[in-house]
Structure 1
Amino acid sequence: MAAERTVGSLHLARRLTVPAHAAPRQYARRTRALLGGWLALALAIVVHALANDAWPGAGTVAQAMHGGPSGMSSDATLGWLLFVDAWMPQIRAGLAAGACLGLAGALLQTITQNPLASGELLGVSAGAQMGLIVALLVPGLAVLPMMLAGGVLAALFTFALAGGTRTTPLRLTLAGAANALALSALCMVALTLYTRAAVGVVQWSTGSLQQFGKRGADEAIWLLLPAGVALLALLHPLGLARFGEAQASALGQRVGAVRVGTILLAAALSAIAIALAGPVGFVGLAAPNLVRLMGVHRPAWLIPLSALWGGAMLIVTDAIARALVTFGALPVGVMSAVIGAPVLLLLLRYGLPASTAEMTAPMAAGHRASNRRPMAVIAVLVVIALVAVTGLTLTMGVLPWPSVWQWRDVFDPHTAAGMLVDLRLPRSLIAMGAGALLAGSGLLLQGACRNPLAGPELLGVNQAAGLAVLALLLVSPDAAARWSMPAAWAASAGVLAIVLGVNARWGLAPMRVILTGMALAGLLAALANLLVLQFHVHATQALVWLVGSSYGQSWHGVRALLPWLAICLPLAAYAGRWLDLLSLGDETAEALGVPVVRARLGLLALASAMAAAAVATVGPVAYVGLIVPNALRSLPLTGTRDRIVTAALAGALLLGVADLFGRTLFAPLDLPLGIVTAAVGTPLFLWLLSRTFLRSHAHAG
C-alpha cells in the first residue's frame, strides 16, 4: 500500500507540476475569468435595473441615505420603497440562486468527470415541487424547509438508486430521469385530487425571482453559510478527484465519502436555488462550461468562478425576460430554458467525446428462439387478456352481467346498455390503440438508434407532439380536430431530427442522446406551462392533458385513430426485417443490400408518426414506449417482427388496464392515463434498469 501511494504521489506530482512558461498564461486566464465575471455581474445588475425601471434616481438615493425617506415627496418615497423592498430582494435572490446553481453544476461536473452534469439530473426540481405541494396541502408546514427537504431527499434517492458510491454518470442520469418521472406522477395525483393547489404550482413551475419582501430571500440565503463551510472542506479532495479515482485512492482519499458529500452538497445548493427562484434550469450546466472555455480547469478556481458567472447569467436572463414585457412577459424559468437548451445542444454537438465506455454501450441483442410457437402462445394470451379487460370495462360497476350480452340493447343508444357502451367502449379502444402505437414507436426508436433507452418519453418526442396539439387547441380549437395529428407528427419528427443531428457524430451514444432529449423535453415543458398561463387555461384541465388522459373520448376519436393503426402497425411489422439487419451493424447491413441511411430515416419517420398519432389522441402518456420494448427482451421471440407484434399487443393491454384502473380506483374521480402508467411504469423501469442495463455496466466508467 505504501508503495502504491508513493507511485501515485509521483504521478500526481508530475501532473500537478506547471511548466514555468505556462504559469503566466494560467494566471492571465484566471484573472480574465475573475474580472470578466465581476464586470458581467455589474452589467447584468444595471441591465436588470433598466429593464425594471427600478432606479429611483441619484437624488432620491442621496436623500434617503442622508435623511431617510421621511423628508421625501410621495413619488420619491414610493420609488425608494420599490427599489429597496421589491427590486433589491430580487437581485439578492438572483445572485444567491445563480451562484447555487453554478456551484452545484461545477461540483457535479468535477466529481463525475462529466462536463454535461448539473443539478437537474438528480431529480431535485421534482422533489422540491413535491415538498411545495405537501406544504400547501398540510396546514402549519413551512414552505421553504419542505422544499429543501424534498429536493435533498429526491437527490439521495437518485444517488442510492444509481448504485451509491459505485455510480457512474450514465447510471446517475438514468436514475434521475426515472426518479423525476415518478415524483412528477405523484405531484399530478396530488394536484388532481386537490385542485386548489394546482394554479399556484403551475405558476411556481415557470420560475420567478419575484420576492415578497426581504424575509423569504434572507431565510434561504442564511442557509448558504453552512453550505459554504462544506464547500471549503471539499475543495482540496475535489482537486485530487479530477485526476481519477485510482490516483485519489492511491493517495489515501476516501473516494466514496467525497462523492457522497459532493452530491449531497450539490443537491442542497440546487434545492436552495429552487426555493429562491423556482425550477430554473441550464444555469448550472452553462456556467461551469463557460468558465472552462476561458481556460480555467482547476476546481479551486473553477467552482468559485462558476458561482460568480452563474449569478450574472441568472440576473441577465431575468432582465431579458422582463425586457420582453411588451410582447408578454416570459418567466425566468421559461427564458432560461429558451436560452439554455440551445447552449446544451451546442455542447453536446461540439463538446468533448464521452469519456466512459458505457456512454457508447451498444444495445444488447434480444433472445432468439428456434421456432415461432412461443410467439403464438404469447399473442393468444395477450389477446385473451385484452378481451377480458374490454369485458370488465363494459360490465364493471353499473349493470348486471346478463344485460350486457343482450346484443339488441347493446347496439341501441337509447337503452342503458347502449349508453354504457357509448361511454366506455370508445375510450377503452382509444387507450388500447394509443398503447399499441406508443409501444411500437418505442421499439422502432430503440432498434433504429441501437439504444435501449431511446423511448419517445426520454427523447422529447411525446412532449413535442403534446405541445403542438396543446397550442393548436388553444389558438384554433376548430382546426384542432382536423390538423392535430399532422401537427403532432411534424413537431415530433422535428425534435427527433434535432436529437439525431446533434448526436450523429458521436454514434448516438446513450448518455448524449438522453441529455439531448432531456434538454428538449425541459424546453418544451417550459413552453407548455407558458401557454397554460398566457391563455388562462384551467390549471387542472391543462395538467390532465399534459400527463395524458382518455377522458371524454367518443366514436369520432376511434374513427380518427383507426387509419393510423391500419397503416402504421403493418408498416412497422414489415420493417422488422430492416431492424434485424441493422442490429448486425451498419457495414454488415450495407453488405447485405440494406440502404442504411434511408432505412434508418424511414424507421424514425414511422416511429415519430406512431407516437404523434397516440399523443394527439390521448396526450403525452409516459413509459409505454420505454418499458414495453425492454420488457419483451426476456421473452423467447424469434425476431424483431415478432417483437413488434407482441409489443403492440402488450402496449394495448397496458393502457387498457390503465384506463380501467384510472376510471374505477378513485371513482367518481377519473385518474388520467399518464398517472396510472407512471405509477406502474416507474417500478418496472427501475427493475429493468437494475436487471439489465445498469447491471451490465456496473463496472464501467
Structure 2
Amino acid sequence: MPDTLGRSALWLAAMAVLAACLTAVNLAPGLASLGLDRLLAPVPSDVEAMVMAYSRLPRLCIGLLCGAALGLSGTLFQQVMRNPLASPSTIGVEAGAGFALAAATLYLPGLLGWSRGLVALTGGFAAVALVLMIAGRFRFAPLAVVLGGLVVGFYLSAATTTLALLHEYRLAGLFVWGSGSLSQQDWRPTLELLPRLALAALAAALLARPLVLLQLDEAARGLGLRIALVRAGALAVAVALAGFTVSAVGVIGFLGLAAPSIARAIGARRLASRMVVAPLVGALLLTVTDQALQILTAATGMFLPTGAVTAMLGAPALFLLATRLRAAEPQHGARALVLTRVSSTWLVALLATLAVLALASLVLGRDLGGAWVADLGAGLEPFLAWRLPRMVGALAAGALLAVAGVMLQRLTRNPMASPEVLGVSAGSAFGLMVALFTMSAPGQVALTACAALGAAATLGVLLLGVRRRGLGGNQALLTGVAVAAFLMALLSAVTATGDPRALLLMGWMAGSTYRVDAAGATVAAVLALAMLPALPALARQLEHLSLGMPHARALGIPAERSALLVLCGAGLLTAAATLIVGPLSFVGLMAPHIAKRLGFARCLPQLAAAALLGAGVMVTADLLGRTVHFPWQIPAGLLSALIGAPILLVLLLRPQRRRARQSAREPIRA
C-alpha cells in the first residue's frame, strides 16, 4: 500500500504546533525573565536559573529523545515480528530491564555505578531470548511470539514488584520509575543517552533495506539475504533503544506500541517512512504530554506520572486505529499450542491436588518465632475465622478468572484473549474506583455491582470497536489493549494523587487477600458453585461459537445473542474475582493455556481443568503470601503470576512427543 506522506506531514505539523504552544506556555515566561547570561552561566544562589538550566530544559530534551527511541523501537519490533502488537512492552523488554535494575540495586549495586544502561540492556536481552526460545517452538507464529512476551513480561513485572514490596525502603523510587518520570537534575542523562541513541538509529537506518526484503521470506533467501542475521541485528537494535530509555527515565512503554500504529494510520505505510514518522510521533506525543503535565502541576500542585498520562492520551488513538484494522483470523504455527486429548483421570488428580492445597492453606502457618507449624483440632479453631474466608475467596476467584479466560479465548478464537488482556479486569477496577470515590461506605454488594458494571461497560466498548469485523484476530486484541491501557493509566494517575481512598485502591490492585471477609468469600463461592451446573451448556455454546459467527448461524444458533450472554457472563465472573485478587493476577490468561498444554483440548474438559488449575494457583499463592515472608505478607495476585508463569513457560518449552504430534490431525483452535 503506498504512502500518503502529505497526510503524514499535516498530522505531524499539527502535533508539532501543539507541542510548541504548550512548551511556550510552560517555558517562555521563565526564559524571558532570566535572560541569556543568567541561563548560560547560572550560579547556585540563583535558584530560578538553576532550575531552568538543569531541570526543565534537560527534561524537554530527554523527552524528545525517549519518545523518538520508543517509536523507532516499536517499529523495528513490529517489522521483525510481523505483528502490530509487538512492542517493548509486549515482548517483555521493559519488564526484563526493570527486573535487572531492581536486582542489581539489591544484590550488585556496584554494577549500577559502572553502567546502569548495560544492566538494563542485559535484562532486556535476557527477556527477549526467553521469548524467542518459546516462539521458536512454534516457528515464530505471531501470536506465539506475543503470548510468550506477555507471559515473560507478567512474570518479570510480578518479580520486580515483589522485590519492591520486600525491600520497600531500598526500592522506594521503583514505583515512580515504573510509571515513567522525565524529571531531571542535570544534563548528564541526556548527554549519555544522545550518542547511544544516535548509534542505534544509524544501525536501524542501515538495516532498513534488508528489513524490507525480509517480507519476501524464502524469496529473500534466494536473493542472498541472511534472514537470521538481519532479524538478530534488528532485534538487538530495538532492545538497545528500549533498554537505554528504560534505564534513563523508567517505563513509558505504551509509546512503543502506539507510535508505529499512529504513524501507519496517518499515512506512513512503508517501512522507510514509518522509521521516520513513528519516532517523530513518539517524540511529539511524549513532549505534548509532559509539557501539559508541567503546566497542570504548576497550577494545581498535583503530581501525575508522565508514563501513565501518556498512555491515557495514546490509548484512545490506538482504540480508533484498531477499529479500522482489517480483521484477521488467529494464525497458528505448524506446531499447535495444544497437545492431544487426555483421560478424565487427570481431572481427578487435579481435584485431589486442589483438596490437598486447600487443606494445607487452612492448617499451615508460622508461630511467633517464625517456625512452621500445623494447627490441628482445637489449635486450628482460632485461625479459621481468618484463614477460611481467604482460602475460599482465593479458590473461588482463581476458578472464576480461569473460566472467564476460557470463555473469552474460545469466543474470540484467539489464544491471547483473557480478562486482563482485553481490559475486563481493568474495567472492574475502574468500577471499584468509582464506588470508592462516590459512595461514603460502600458494602460488598455495592462494590460487586459497580465492578460488574465496569466490566460490562468495558466489554461494551470492546464490542463497539469490533462490531463490524467480528471478534477474531488482532483487531479485538489491539482494541482490548488500548482500553486496558487507558483504564490502568487512569487508575495509576488517581493513585498518584495520594488520596487515602486511592491508597486503598492501590493496595487492593496488588491482589492481596488479607482483606477478604466472610461476605466477600461467600459471594465468590456462590458464583463459583452456581457456575458448575452451567458448564456443560456453556461448553456446547462455546463449541459452536468457536467455529465463527457464520458457522454458528448456519447451525441455527442465535450467534449474536449467545455471544452477548457469554461476554456478560465473563464480565460478571471477572468482576467478582477482581474484587478479591485485583486486576493483575493473570490467572485468566495462564490457566486456560496450562490446561491446553496438559492436553485438555475439548471445551468442557478445558473449562473444568482450567477452573481447578486457577483455583490451585490462587490457593497456593495465598498460602505462600501469608507465610514465606512472615510476619509480612506478599499479595496473592503477585504470587499467582510468580507461580503460574513458570509452569506455563516450562510447558511451552517442553519438547512435544512425536506420538502426540502425529495423533493430532488438526490443531484445536482456541
Same fold (TM over 0.5): yes
Please, what TM-score do these two structures have when normalized by structure 1?
Answer: 0.81
| Segment of structure 1 superposing worse, 232-241 or 395-404 | 395-404
- 1:665 partnered with 2:665: no
* Structure 2 residue identity aligned to 1:533: A
* Structure 1 residue identity aligned to 2:207: L
> Counterpart of 2:409 in 1: which secondary structure?
helix
- 1:122 partnered with 2:95: no
How many angstroms apart in 2 are the aligned matches of 1:662 and 1:616? 17
Q: Per the alignment, do residues 402 and 593 of structure 1 end up closer, same or farther by CA in structure 2, a change over 3 Å counting?
A: same
How many angstroms apart in 1 are the aligned matches of 2:434 and 2:335? 37
Structure 1 match to 2:22: 47
Deviation by residue 1:380-424 (Cα, 9 ceiling, x = unmatched): 54444343333323333569999834xxx4xxxxxx432122222
TM-superposed CA distance for 1:479, in Å, is 0.9
How many angstroms apart in 2 are the aligned matches of 1:346 and 1:495? 15
How many angstroms apart in 2 are the aligned matches of 1:602 and 1:361? 33
Q: Per the alignment, do residues 31 and 580 of structure 1 end up closer, same or farther by CA in structure 2, a change over 3 Å counting?
A: closer
Structure 2 match to 1:11: none
Structure 2 match to 1:7: none
Conserved 8 A contact 1:47-1:319: yes
Partner of residue 394 from structure 2, selected from 424, 431, 434: 431
Structure 2 match to 1:678: 641
Q: Per the alignment, do residues 32 and 666 of structure 1 end up closer, same or farther by CA in structure 2, a change over 3 Å counting?
A: closer
Alignment of 1:243-322 (within 5 A): 243-293=215-265, 295-322=267-294
How many angstroms apart in 2 are the aligned matches of 1:121 and 1:435? 24
Aligned residues: 651
Conserved 8 A contact 2:390-2:514: yes
How many angstroms apart in 2 are the aligned matches of 1:687 and 1:84? 51
Partner of residue 175 from structure 1, selected from 148, 159, 164: 148
How many angstroms apart in 2 are the aligned matches of 1:150 and 1:402? 40
How many angstroms apart in 2 are the aligned matches of 1:602 and 1:315? 43
| Segment of structure 1 superposing worse, 218-227 or 179-188 | 218-227
Deviation by residue 1:466-513 (Cα, 9 ceiling, x = unmatched): 343355446656215341111111112222233333334444334333
Conserved 8 A contact 1:440-1:569: no
> Counterpart of 1:195 in 2: which secondary structure?
coil
- 1:206 partnered with 2:175: no
Q: Per the alignment, do residues 255 and 634 of structure 1 end up closer, same or farther by CA in structure 2, a change over 3 Å counting?
A: closer
Q: Per the alignment, do residues 364 and 231 of structure 1 end up closer, same or farther by CA in structure 2, a change over 3 Å counting?
A: closer
TM-superposed CA distance for 1:174, in Å, is 1.4
Structure 1 match to 2:314: 340
How many angstroms apart in 2 are the aligned matches of 1:418 and 1:130? 41
Structure 1 match to 2:200: 227
* Structure 2 residue identity aligned to 1:392: A
How many angstroms apart in 2 are the aligned matches of 1:309 and 1:585? 37
TM-superposed CA distance for 1:543, in Å, is 6.0
Deviation by residue 1:249-288 (Cα, 9 ceiling, x = unmatched): 2221111111111111011112222333332233334444
How many angstroms apart in 2 are the aligned matches of 1:367 and 1:395? 37
Partner of residue 532 from structure 1, selected from 470, 495, 516: 495
Structure 2 match to 1:194: 167
Conserved 8 A contact 2:91-2:128: yes
Conserved 8 A contact 1:38-1:308: no
How many angstroms apart in 1 are the aligned matches of 2:53 and 2:375? 73
Structure 1 match to 2:407: 444
How many angstroms apart in 2 are the aligned matches of 1:626 and 1:118? 19
TM-superposed CA distance for 1:611, in Å, is 1.3
TM-superposed CA distance for 1:652, in Å, is 2.6
Structure 2 match to 1:514: 477
How many angstroms apart in 1 are the aligned matches of 2:616 and 2:134? 28
Please, what TM-score do these two structures have when normalized by structure 2?
Answer: 0.85
| Segment of structure 1 superposing worse, 168-177 or 283-292 | 283-292
* Structure 2 residue identity aligned to 1:157: L
How many angstroms apart in 2 are the aligned matches of 1:285 and 1:247? 29
How many angstroms apart in 2 are the aligned matches of 1:621 and 1:64? 49
How many angstroms apart in 2 are the aligned matches of 1:279 and 1:467? 22
Q: CA RMSD in A?
A: 3.9
How many angstroms apart in 2 are the aligned matches of 1:621 and 1:280? 18
How many angstroms apart in 2 are the aligned matches of 1:43 and 1:638? 52
Deviation by residue 1:110-138 (Cα, 9 ceiling, x = unmatched): 33444554332221221232233234424
How many angstroms apart in 1 are the aligned matches of 2:280 and 2:417? 36
Structure 1 match to 2:358: 390
Deviation by residue 1:200-244 (Cα, 9 ceiling, x = unmatched): 222222222221111122222232243234224323323433x52
TM-superposed CA distance for 1:587, in Å, is 4.1
Conserved 8 A contact 1:115-1:289: yes
Q: Per the alignment, do residues 362 and 488 of structure 1 end up closer, same or farther by CA in structure 2, a change over 3 Å counting?
A: farther
Q: Per the alignment, do residues 61 and 248 of structure 1 end up closer, same or farther by CA in structure 2, a change over 3 Å counting?
A: farther
Deviation by residue 1:619-669 (Cα, 9 ceiling, x = unmatched): 235242233333444678796445444443443333223322333334334
> Counterpart of 1:534 in 2: which secondary structure?
coil
Gaps of 5+ in 1: 1-14, 16-21, 410-415
Q: Per the alignment, do residues 292 and 196 of structure 1 end up closer, same or farther by CA in structure 2, a change over 3 Å counting?
A: same
* Structure 2 residue identity aligned to 1:395: V
Structure 1 match to 2:538: 575
Conserved 8 A contact 1:188-1:543: no
Alignment of 1:56-205 (within 5 A): 56-57=31-32, 60-64=34-38, 78-138=47-107, 139-140=109-110, 141-142=112-113, 143-163=116-136, 167-197=140-170, 199-205=172-178
Structure 1 match to 2:562: 599
TM-superposed CA distance for 1:430, in Å, is 1.4
> Counterpart of 2:79 in 1: which secondary structure?
helix
Conserved 8 A contact 1:629-1:647: yes
> Counterpart of 1:551 in 2: which secondary structure?
coil
Structure 1 match to 2:574: 611
> Counterpart of 1:153 in 2: which secondary structure?
helix
Structure 2 match to 1:489: 452
TM-superposed CA distance for 1:144, in Å, is 4.2
Structure 1 match to 2:323: 349
Conserved 8 A contact 2:141-2:332: no
Is the radius of gyration larger for structure 1 or structure 2? 1
* Structure 2 residue identity aligned to 1:332: T
TM-superposed CA distance for 1:348, in Å, is 1.5
Deviation by residue 1:149-197 (Cα, 9 ceiling, x = unmatched): 3334323333343229953432321121111101011112211211214
Conserved 8 A contact 1:45-1:91: no
Conserved 8 A contact 2:418-2:588: yes
| Segment of structure 1 superposing worse, 83-92 or 635-644 | 635-644
Gaps of 5+ in 2: none
> Counterpart of 1:162 in 2: which secondary structure?
helix
TM-superposed CA distance for 1:612, in Å, is 0.8
TM-superposed CA distance for 1:616, in Å, is 0.9
